[in-house]
Amino acid sequence: MPDLIALRYPALHRARQAWRCGDDQSALAKLEGDGAARLRLAPDDRVTIVEADPRLEALYGRPLRGAAADLLSPDADIAVEATIAADTGCELFVEDTVTLTGGATRMARLYLPLAPALTEADVLCLVVVSAASKT
């Protein structure tokens, strides 16, 4: 039986499959949704955006590099979500409703902890907004 991510978000599914095969770089390249961000977890529990796909910046209407990661979903605790993924080494999928410039929108976030060879403190956060669910 296919899982929720595969059914609702094929781009996230493809990226997750690449990550599961140990290919962090390909996981980002396979995303064909609205964008991705690389988050950095600081020792003081702050989480910042260190890289953001131009598609994601266009979605938010502003540059995201250097911004607090909570900007991605003000009602969610992005720091807690990213920390769970980093601490467990497991993927974390979150789906909720956020308000962007176009109104309330359904958003999916898939957190993939990056391999220690890249950096121990980074988590890839893939973001997809379902255009069909914009209200």
Per-residue pLDDT tens digits for 39-64: 888 877 788 888 888 888 887 888 99
12 belongs to a structural domain:
no
17 belongs to a structural domain:
no
Q: Is the pTM of this model over 0.85?
A: no
Domains in the chain: how many in total?
1
The CA distance from 86 to 45, in Å, is 12
94 belongs to a structural domain:
yes
31-36 contact pairs (CB < 8 A, 24+): 31/126, 31/128, 33/9, 33/126, 33/127, 33/128, 33/129, 34/59, 34/127, 34/128, 34/129, 35/59, 35/126, 35/127, 36/124, 36/125, 36/126, 36/127
25 belongs to a structural domain:
no
6 belongs to a structural domain:
no
Each residue's pLDDT tens digit in the chain (135 positions)?
568 888 888 878 888 888 888 776 666 665 555 577 888 888 777 888 888 888 888 878 889 999 998 888 877 788 888 888 888 888 999 988 887 777 787 888 888 887 654 444 677 787 776 644 444
27 belongs to a structural domain:
no
53 belongs to a structural domain:
yes
128: domain CATH number is 3.30.450.20
In the 8-state DSSP scheme, what is residue 132?
Answer: G
**Residue 135 pLDDT:** 42
Q: Domain range spanning residue 122?
A: 33-133
